[in-house]
């Protein structure tokens, strides 16, 4: 299952980042962006995440998936459109210089901690 290996790599990214930041507290939410072109099914990713997170510091965290539509742009006629699959040629002019504007995204964009540990040495207010 493709989503399972994606979930595992997302989790290891988050765990590394938490360690680097010396973050404490339970992770309540993990935010990820999933581009249409990434081939990842958000619902399957959520299930895989729950399985892969079991036993780790992310167990029970909610995976919040932001889906990014596949948007293509034609350099020849300057047309930009939402596609369901990556076309190699422009639907409008047949131009072959079509670039992917968005839809390749796949990664962690943020984490919500349930309780934020106070940062030492910083006055409040």
Binding site for Zn ion (CB under 5 A): 74, 76-77, 79, 90, 92-93, 95
Nearest approach in angstroms of CB 77 to Zn ion is: 3
Give whichever of 10 and 90 is closer to Zn ion, judged by the CB atom: 90
* Nearer of residues 99 and 109 to Zn ion, judged by Cβ: 99
Least distance from Zn ion to the Cβ atom of residue 70, Å: 16
Question: Smallest distance, Å, CB 38 to Zn ion?
Answer: 25
Q: What is the DSSP string of the chain?
A: -HHHHHHHHHHHHHHHHHHHTT--S-EEEEEEEEEGGGT--HHHHHHHHHHHHTTSTTTTPEEEEEEE--EEEETTT--EEE-SS--SS-TTT--S-EEEEES--EEEEEEEESSPPPPTT----
């Amino acid at each position: 299952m493709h989503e399972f290996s994606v979930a595992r790599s997302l989790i290891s990214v988050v765990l590394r980042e938490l360690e680097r930041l010396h973050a404490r507290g339970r992770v309540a939410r993990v935010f990820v962006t999933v581009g249409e072109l990434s081939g990842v099914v958000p619902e399957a990713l959520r299930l895989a995440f729950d399985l892969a997170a079991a036993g780790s510091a992310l167990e029970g965290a909610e995976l919040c998936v932001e889906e990014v539509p596949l948007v293509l742009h034609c350099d020849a006629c300057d047309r930009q459109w939402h596609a369901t699959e990556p076309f190699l040629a422009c639907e409008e002019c047949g131009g072959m210089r079509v670039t992917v504007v968005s839809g390749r995204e796949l990664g962690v964009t943020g984490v919500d901690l349930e309780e934020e540990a106070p940062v030492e040495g910083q006055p409040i207010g």
